[in-house]
Amino acid sequence: MYFFERNPEYRNRIICIDDVGREYTYQQIWDMGDELTEDARGVTLLECSNDAESLAKYLALLRRGCPVILISRSLDDEAKAALRSTYAGNCKTNPELGLLLSTSGSTGDRKLVRLSYSNLQANCDSIVEYLGLTQDERPVTTLPMEYTYGLSVIHSHVAVGATIILTNRTLFQSEFWDMVSRYEATSMAGVPYTYEMFERLRLREMDLPHLKTLTQAGGHLSEELQKKYAQWAEETGRQFFVMYGQTEATARMSYIPPDKCAEKIGSIGIPIPGGSMTIADDGELIYFGANVSMGYAVKQEDLALGDENGGCLKTGDMARMDADGYFYITGRKKRFVKLQGKRISLDQVQEILQEAFDCDEIICTGNDDDGIKVNTSSRNVAEREDEILRLFMDKWQVRGRLVTIRYLDEIPRNSSGKVMYSKL
């Protein structure tokens, strides 16, 4: 049985509690979803947020066999229209196709990852196993539903009949922490930025006796924070999981068991149950598992394609493995950075900035730890910092503290005119 199907054992259990304290049983969410999607046909664009209606619609569309494109309700109208015109509607699709997600979080990128029902279930089963989830769990939503990590939290807890505390409130709202306390949240998930906010809010000093598990993925967590939370978890009888994943593998590919977290600082851990990893001759990390996606879609015709990956994913990350079988990322094969849980193409950022400011002398560099550097030899561009930062927020939901604008006398290039990125 798939996690989204009607499990008779769960019908009277509470599946979620919403922002205003309303409780919904699994049966009520199933019935609500069937009613709200009775006219749905073919590929469906679902504008979602962390609420009961979005959850009901999503699970119902999966049951109906309507491939779902999950997007944020706050996505701009132009991006929504582009996705709708490219993919949505009655068209030929592979019968195994269940979900379509952007490779870059909630940016509305028209390049989508094709995930099958089997991909979703395989990753769900692995997560349930290594986290040891039961129906007594009460996770609170700290991540958006359309983001693969946030969605995997929903999948894995629905699978075991748990209760999800659904909220769109932010960590900086007192109402969020009121919900965590009142509804006795047992776990929270976060990207590196989330943990930076936890520190500012002094999470480790809060009185949260029911909170027993914290998980982290969506990018490299600083060694300092990994040490702090590993130690805190050990001292307070909690569990802290550091994990690694990509949308192309549904969500998760590896994790560090809590008892090894303080020892394996900087590692992405070991493969999840049912998965395996190896390092290619050129140093690239290769993952194998039933959760590896079917491939990409860049046009409507791609929705009919079969499995192009065959359970093998070239991650694009360079890695090493220690003597205990734990993996460590050492760099990226291609020009991507992972910020606030989103994988962002530096080439795409560069292209958009060059077009927006009508200037070719804009070159982007960066990494997961230091953020993105916008290098330009145009003084006019360098002086428009506010516009650049606003564009980063609007397009990629990346905050200004992760973006640096640098004015250079000239962009370093080799004799053939190619940018010398190493000089930057």
CA dihedral sign of residues 143, 148, 154, 160: negative
Among 267, 297, 332, which residue terminates a domain?
332
Tokens standing for residue 334: 């291609």
Q: What is the pLDDT of residue 397?
A: 85
The residue-averaged pLDDT of 341-365 equals 87
pLDDT band at 312 (very low <50, low <70, confident <90, very high): very high
Say whether both 23 and 160 belong to one domain. yes
Other C-beta atoms closer than 10 Å to the C-beta of 34 total: 16
Residue 231 pLDDT: 97
Predicted local confidence at residue 108, as pLDDT: 47
Is 4 among the domain residues? no
Average pLDDT over residues 147-153: 96
Domain limits for position 351: 337-423
Domain-located, residue 42: yes
Q: How confident is the model at residue 339 (pLDDT cuts 50, 70, 90)?
A: confident
395 and 272 both lie in a single domain: no
The helix (H) or strand (E) run that includes residue 197 is helix 192-200
With a cut of 60, say whether residue 137 has pLDDT above it.
Answer: yes
Q: Examine the domain organization and report whether 174 and 262 are in the same domain.
A: yes
Evaluate whether residue 51 is within a structural domain.
yes
The pLDDT score that the predictor gives to residue 370 is 87
Would residue 7 count as lying in a domain? no
CA angle 353, 359, 365 (to 5 degrees): 50
The CATH number of whichever domain residue 418 belongs to comes to 3.30.300.30
Give the pLDDT score at 418: 60
- Provide the mean pLDDT of the chain: 93
Where does the pLDDT of residue 394 fall: very low under 50, low under 70, confident under 90, or very high at 90 and above? confident
Q: pLDDT band at residue 104, thresholds of 50, 70 and 90?
A: low
How far, in Å, CA of 252 to CA of 126, rounded? Answer: 9
Helix (H, G, I), strand (E, B) or coil at 309: coil
Q: Tell me whether residue 183 is exposed, middle or buried, using C-beta atoms within 10 angstroms of its C-beta: 0 to 12, 13 to 18, 19 or more.
A: middle
Residues 48, 62, single domain; the answer is yes
Task: Report the pLDDT averaged over residues 128-138.
Answer: 98
What's the whole-number mean pLDDT along residues 147-165? 97
| Claim to verify: residue 304 and residue 341 sit in the same structural domain | no
Answer yes or no: is pLDDT of 138 > 90: yes
Same domain, 224 and 294: yes
- If one counts the domains in the chain, the total is 2
H helix runs in 88-147, sequence order:
117-131
Query: What would the pLDDT profile of 181-191 be if each residue is shown by its tens digit?
Result: 999 999 999 99
Enter the tokens of residue 7. 């499990």
If you average pLDDT over residues 84-111, what whole number do you get?
83
200-248, pLDDT tens digit by residue? 999 999 999 999 999 999 888 889 999 999 999 999 999 999 999 999 9
pLDDT at 55: 98
Whether residue 125 lies inside any domain: the answer is yes
Contact yes or no for 199/227 (Cβ under 8 A): no
**What are the CA-CA distances from residue 72 to residues 5, 36, 69, 324, 387 (Å)?**
24, 18, 10, 41, 23
pLDDT for 401 beyond 90: no
Q: Residue 360 pLDDT more than 70?
A: yes
Indicate whether this model's pTM tops 0.85: no
How confident is the model over 405-420, as a mean pLDDT?
76
pLDDT bucket at 414, cuts 50 / 70 / 90? low
Q: What is the pLDDT of residue 330?
A: 82
Residue 151 has pLDDT above 90, yes or no: yes
Q: Looking at residue 318, what is its pLDDT?
A: 87
The answer to the question of residue 3 being in a domain is no
Residue 109: what pLDDT? 60
Are 245 and 252 spatial neighbours (Cβ–Cβ below 8 Å)?
yes
Q: Give the pLDDT confidence of 38-64 residue by residue, as tens digits.
A: 999 999 999 999 999 999 999 999 999
Last residue of a domain, one of 332, 357, 386: 332
Chain centroid to Cα 51, Å, comes to 18
> Same domain, yes or no, for 19 and 115?
yes
- HSE on the CB side for 69, CA within 13 Å? 31
Domain endpoint, select from 309, 332, 355: 332
Indicate whether 268 and 362 sit together in one domain: no
Region 350-373: mean pLDDT is: 90
How many residues are given for the chain?
A: 424
With cut-offs at 50, 70 and 90, classify the pLDDT of residue 413.
confident
* Judgement on whether residues 278 and 341 belong to the same structural domain of the protein: no
Q: What is the pLDDT of residue 31?
A: 98
pLDDT at position 119: 98
- Domain check: are 147 and 212 in the same one? yes
- Residue 6 lies inside a defined structural domain of this protein: no
Confidence at 333, pLDDT banded by 50, 70, 90? confident
According to the model, what pLDDT value does residue 256 have? 98
Task: Note whether 102 and 204 are same-domain residues.
Answer: yes
What CATH code is carried by the domain that includes residue 312? 3.40.50.12780
Residue 268 sits in the same domain as residue 366:
no
The pLDDT of residue 273 is 98
Residue range 356-371: mean pLDDT, rounded: 89
Q: 56 versus 359: which is more confidently predicted?
A: 56
Is the pLDDT at 107 greater than 50, yes or no?
Answer: no
Q: Is residue 5 part of a domain?
A: no
